Structure 1
Amino acid sequence: MEILRVFNNNVVLAIDDGREVILTGRGLGFHARPGQEVDRAKIVRTFLPSDGRDPDHIAEHIADIPPEIIRLVTDAMARVGMARQSRESPTLVVALADHVSGVLRRASVGGTSIEYPLEAEVRSLYPEEYEKARSLVAELNAALKGALPSSEDVAFALHLVNAGFSTGDLSYTYRMTGVIQQMLAVIEQTYGIRMDQRSVNVARFITHLRYLFVRIHQGRQLEKGSEPIIQSIRQTYPDQMQCAYRLAAVVELRLGASLTEDEIGYLALHVARVVADATQSS
C-alpha cells in the first residue's frame, strides 16, 4: 500500500490494489512522503470512496475533523447496524462526524442548540431514517455524556436521507422534503381527502418520490422506456394524469426540472393508488 498524498499527521491518501483509499490513524502521516509504504500498524480506519466523490476532496474534509470524532461515529454506526453504510459511504461518515464536531464546538463556547425545521415532516416522511437517527444519537450520547440534544435526531435523519444524493449538502434534502409535503397537499386538495402517511400505498408513493428526486439530481429521468404502460395509464386514469401534471408543475417550480411523460405517468399511477386507499379508509 503506497502513499499518494499526506493531508496531516493522521490522514493520508493511498493506493491499494489499484484503488485509491483514504486512511486515518494517529501519526499515520507524520514524516510520511508520497511514494512511501503505509505503516499498516497505524491504520485505524479505511475509507473507500465508492459513492462518486473525489477522494482528495473527501480526505481534505476528513483531515479537518478530529480523528476521535470519526472513530466515535463509525463505532456508533456499527453498533446500530450501519457498519456497511459506514464502509461504503465515506461521505455519510464525514457528514455525520463533521456535524457532531460542530455541535460539540458550539457547546464548548456556550452556544445554544439548533432547532431544525420540518421536524414533523421528517418524522412522518422518513420514519426508517428517523428511527436509525434516534438510535445513532443515543449511541453517541452514551460516549459523549449526553452532549447531543434530542433535536439532533432530525438533523441525523436528514443526513441519512441525504446519503442517497452522494452529497454532504443538506439544502437539496430540505427542499425535497418541502416538495413532497406540497405534492401530498395538492393531491388532498384535488380530491378532498386526508391521506394516512403511515399507509402502505402512501409510503410507497413517498419512496417513489425520493427515487424520482435522485433521478432528477443525477439527470437520469425515466424516458421512452415503457410507452405501452404509460399509454395504458393515460387511458385508465385520465383524472389522475391531470393531477400528476399539477404535481409535475410543482416539481418544475420548486426544483427547476421538467418531468418526462414517463415520470408523470408513474406519478398518476401512484395518485390513483393513494386516492383509492384514502377513499376506502374514510
Structure 2
Amino acid sequence: MEIIRVLNNNAAIVRGDDDVEIVVLGKGIAHGRKRGERLDDAAVIDQVFRPDSRHPVERIAAYLSDIPLDVVRCAALVAERAHDRLGIRVSQALILPLADHLAFAIDRVRRGIEMDYPLRWEVSQLYPREVAVGREAVDLAAARLGVVLPADEAISFALHFVNAAFASEGMAPTIHMTERIGRVLEVVSQSMGVTLDAESMNVARFVTHLRYLFVRLDADALFDDPSAELLGGIRASHPAAYACAQRVRYLLEMGGARLTEDEVLYLALHVARVTTRAETRTD
C-alpha cells in the first residue's frame, strides 16, 4: 500500500492493492512517514475504512484526523456491543458517528461543559434496550479511556443505535421520529383512557410498528389497498381503537404527513392490541 496522505501519527490515507484509496489506523502507523512510501506491514493496521456512497474517503479522513485511535477502538467495541445486544450490523456507518460523538463527549467533560438531553424521557420510554446498551457504552468509555461521561450520554448513544437500525442519513430524522412517536403514545393513552407500560412487549411491538410507519411515510411507500369488508370489520370490532387511529392520523397530517386508509386500519389494529392489557387510567 502506498501512503497518499498522513492524517496523524496513527492514521493515513493509502492506496490499496486494488488501486482504491482507503483510510487505515494503527498505533504509530504513520509516524515519520511521507507521501509515496510503502506501508505493507499488515500487523500494524488496526482499523480499515473504505469509501462508499455515503462516506467518500475525504469524509472518512475528516472524521478520523482529529480522533485519537483509542477513541475509535472504543467506538468499535461499542458497535460490537450493539450488534450483540440489538442485532445491529457493525459497519463504518455506525463506528464513525460513534467515534465522532464519543470524542466530542470526552471533550465536553474535560472542558466542564454540561449538556442538556431534551429527549431523555422519550428515548428512555421508547427505546429501553438501546438505552441499556448506551449505559454499557458509558461504562466502556470509563474502563477503556478513563473518562467518566454523564450518565445521560446513554440517551445519545441510544439514538445512534436507533439511527443505525433504520440506516438514516444523520441524526435529525431519528430525533424527529422519536418526538413523533412520543406524541402518538400520548394521544393513544389519553384517547383510550389507559396508562401504557413502556417496558411491556405490547408497547415495544407498537413502537416498532410506528417506526416502520414513519419509514414508509418518509419513503412515500404507504400501504394503500383498503378492503371495504376489512374496514367495516375493524370499525365494528374495535370502534374506540379506530377512532383513536383517526386522531393519530389528524395529528400526523397536521405535520404534513398523509396517511392512507389502509395505514389507519393497521394502526387501529395495533392500538387495539397495545391497549388490550394496558392499565385503565383513573385520572
Partner of 2:258: 258
> Residue 138 of structure 1: CA displacement?
0.7
Q: Deviations over 1:163-201 (max 9, x none)?
A: 234346333222222211111111122222222222222
1:138-149 matches, within 5 Å, as 138-149=139-150
User: 2:221 aligned with 1:221, yes or no?
Assistant: yes
Deviation by residue 1:136-185 (Cα, 9 ceiling, x = unmatched): 21122112334212121111112211223434633322222221111111
Q: How many residues align?
A: 273
1:79-98 aligned at under 5 Å gives the runs 82=84, 88-98=90-100
- 1:53/1:166 contact within 8 Å kept: no
RMSD: 3.5
Contact 2:134–2:155 under 8 Å retained in 1:
yes
Q: Distance in 1 between matches of 2:244 and 2:14?
A: 51
Q: Look up the match of 1:135.
A: 136
| Alignment pair present for 1:181 and 2:178 | no
Q: How does 1:175-214 map to 2 (within 5 A)?
A: 175-214=176-215
Please give the per-residue CA displacement for 1:82-118, whole angstroms capped at 9, x wherever unaligned. Answer: 4997873312212221112112222333x23313122
Amino acid at match of 1:247: V
Identify which range, 146-155 or 24-33, moves more after superposition: 24-33
For residues 236 and 13 of structure 1, what CA distance do their matches in structure 2 show?
A: 63
> Is 2:122 the counterpart of 1:114?
no
Query: Which deviates more from structure 2 when the two are superposed, residues 167-176 or residues 143-152?
Result: 167-176
Are 2:268 and 1:268 equivalent residues in the alignment? yes
Instruction: Give the distance between the partners of 2:86 and 2:61, measured in 1 at CA.
Output: 19
SS in 2 for 1:12: strand
Question: Using the alignment, how far apart are the partners of 1:257 and 1:12 within structure 2?
Answer: 44
- The 2-side partners of 1:39 and 1:32 are apart by 16
Unmatched 5+ stretches in structure 2: none
Please tell me whether residue 234 in structure 1 is matched to residue 234 in structure 2. Answer: no
Unaligned runs of 5+ in 1: none
Check the 8 A contact 1:141/1:147 in 2, yes or no.
Answer: yes
Query: Offset of 1:131 from its aligned partner?
Result: 0.8
**CA pair 237-113 structure 1, distance change in 2 beyond 3 A:** same
8 Å Cα contact 2:2-2:39 kept in structure 1:
yes
Q: TM-score, normalised by structure 1?
A: 0.79
Q: Contact 2:192–2:244 at 8 Å: present in 1 too?
A: no
What does 1:39-50 align with in structure 2 at a 5 Å threshold? 39-47=41-49
**In 1, distance between residues paired with 2:85 and 2:45?**
18
Pairs within 5 Å for 1:15-94: 22-25=23-26, 26-28=28-30, 30-33=33-36, 39-47=41-49, 53-56=54-57, 57-78=59-80, 82=84, 88-94=90-96
Identity, in percent, stands at 36
User: CA distance change for structure 1 residues 232 and 160 in 2, over 3 Å: closer, same or farther?
Assistant: farther
Q: Please give the per-residue CA displacement for 1:199-248, whole angstroms capped at 9, x wherever unaligned.
A: 2222100011122223334x152334x645xx454222223334323213
Q: 1:187 to 1:7 in 2, by over 3 A?
A: farther
Q: Distance in 2 between matches of 1:181 and 1:87?
A: 26
Closer, same or farther: CA 206–79 of 1 in aligned 2, 3 Å? closer
2:85·2:133 contact (CA, 8 Å) conserved in 1? no
Q: CA deviation at 1:130?
A: 0.8
TM-score, normalisation: structure 2: 0.79
What is the one-letter code of the residue matched to 2:34? Answer: H
Which of the residues 95, 98, 101 maps onto 1:99? 101
